[in-house]
Amino acid sequence: MTDVRDEQVDALLDRVAERPVELDGLRVTDDDDGYALETPDESHDGLSEPELREAVRSDHVVPYITNWYFWEEAIGRRGRHRRAFLRHAEAADEHPVPERYDALRSGLETEWGEVVVTATLGADGHRRYEIRHVDDAGVDHDELDAYHDPLSARELSTYDERGRYRPLRTAPSLVSGWVFPDLDGRDAVETLDTIYPASIANWNLEREGDLDVTHWRETAERQTGIYDVVEELPPDAVDWLAEACCVDSQCLKRREWQYDADHDLEADGGTGAFPCREPCSLVVAAARKWTKLEEEETRTYEFELTPSEKEQIEAIVDAVADDRIDEIREADVYEGANRYRTRFLRAKRFDEAGNLAGVATEPEEGHHDDHGDDGDRDDHGDDGDHDDHSDRDD
């Protein structure tokens, strides 16, 4: 049973001396007739201080007092996004205190991207939070690596299962196998914000009707240096870009930005818990490449392929685009993107210069340019390996 500590009651008395206390069904006031105490189920007035101190210790009132103390004194109102998220994690605005306390005793879960946050009731009405990967729901603590410092989440979210760098924190490739078993509210939010930076602030701004969405046009027009060119990406290509990068299979954020305020993109924005308010740096960097590629005119090439070979090429594109390469079994030559089958296609249809069906990319030169356009080096060069002035390249 949750109890109420003297310092919690003292704090309540201090607060009520300043102004009426009002939270989640609890109301305490101090006027000429003495103290008044009100909950949805009972009310007292004309109480002396000792009588108030007695009244707040009744089994029915205690949860209201510890609940008040947790939200107003322990959490406070300073970090408004943090407070909003933690209240969301126990649906505080929807359920009365006694009901919530019952639910918190067995744990209340909130999914946030690929993680799940479980809020439970700690000592004296304090809440404790556990964070783990959704794939690890129901797994014993002992089987997971336990962490206690929110900043440990930085390392956990930097690499995927195969040890590859995750430049996009909201890519659905967060590794599992870890748990933050016992965090306070501040550290819980810090942990989530390390895994999904700025997600809580943007979610709450949206909730408050105050999310500042910057659409594609505006973002593109703002760019300078080597990204200046993205403004020229044709509208159709912006749609393809959104389809390529900003759907649930690639990013857990829900895309709220459109082509501009008057023109929605056709691509589905996704169903993520937290909003994407502006094209991210990955999208802008990719757009730069596509802007350059989209400047090329199409040409007519003539290839001799069997129907199965054409379908195989389509299967290869699909497998790469959907990141299914690892799922295709080594000996499964029924899959178009199977490695042996792809090697057979290459052996049969590529010439020594790597040209499909012996058709040169540049017919007049008769050879294939292995290195692509010069932009490739710039793309790599501007990406941090170079120092701070590198974005002026080009």
Partner 1 sequence: MQALVILAHGSHLNPDSSTPTHRHADTIRETGAFDEVKTGFWKEEPSLREVLRTVESDEVYVVPLFISEGYFTEQVIPRELRLSGWDVSEWDSDGLSADTATLVAEDTGQTVHYCGPVGTHEAMTDVLVRRAETVTGDPDVGEGFGFAVVGHGTERNENSAKAIEYHADRVRGMDRFDEVQALYMDEEPEVDDVTDYFGSEDVVVVPLFVADGFHTQEDIPEDMGLTDDYRTGYDVPATVEGHRIWYAGAVGTEGLMADVVLERASDAGADIDAAIATVREATRETQAAGD
Give me the residues that bind partner 1 (CB under 8 A), please: 78-79, 81-82, 151, 154, 158-159, 165, 167-170, 193, 197-198, 201-202, 205, 212, 222, 224-225, 277-278, 280-282, 285, 380-381, 383-393
- Whichever of 105 and 154 has its CB closer to partner 1, that residue is 154
| 59/385 with CB nearer partner 1 | 385
Residue in 220, 282, 230 with CA at minimum distance from that of residue 251: 282
Distance, CA of 240 to CA of 235 (rounded, Å)? 9
Shortest distance in whole angstroms from residue 160 CB to partner 1: 11
User: Edge-to-edge, what's the strand order for the sheet holding 43-47?
Assistant: 21-23, 26-31, 34-38, 43-47
In whole angstroms, give the CA distance from residue 155 to residue 195.
Answer: 9
> DSSP class of residue 127?
E
**Contact of 311 with 336, CB cutoff 8 Å:** yes
CB of 123 to partner 1, least distance (A): 26
Distance between CA atoms of residues 160 and 133, nearest Å = 13
Q: Other CB atoms closer than 10 Å to residue 301's CB: what's the count?
A: 12
Nearer to partner 1, 83 or 341 (CB): 83
Cβ neighbours around 357 below 10 Å, total: 14
Which residue, 159 or 240, is less far from partner 1 as judged by CB?
A: 159
Distance of alpha carbon 120 from alpha carbon 200, whole angstroms? 20
Q: How far is the CB of 293 from partner 1 (least distance, A)?
A: 18
Smaller CB separation from partner 1, 157 or 338: 157
Residue 267 C-beta: closest distance to partner 1, Å: 21
CA distance 275 to 202: 6
User: Residue 186 or residue 368: which is nearer to partner 1 going by CB?
Assistant: 186
CB of 79 to partner 1, least distance (A): 4
Q: How far apart are CA 85 and CA 187, in angstroms?
A: 12
Q: Which residues contact 225 (CB under 8 A, 6 or more apart)?
A: 391, 392, 394
Q: Which is nearer to partner 1, 367 or 386 (CB)?
A: 386
CA nearest to 278, candidates 262, 261, 258, 264:
258
**What one-letter code names the amino acid at 378?**
D
Shortest separation between residue 367's beta carbon and partner 1, angstroms = 29
We find the least distance from the C-beta atom of residue 236 to partner 1, in angstroms, to be 25
Task: Output 151 or 353, the one with its CB closest to partner 1.
Answer: 151
Can you tell me the distance from the alpha carbon of 76 to that of 82, in angstroms, rounded to the nearest whole number? 10
- Report in angstroms how near the CB of residue 195 gets to partner 1 at its nearest: 10
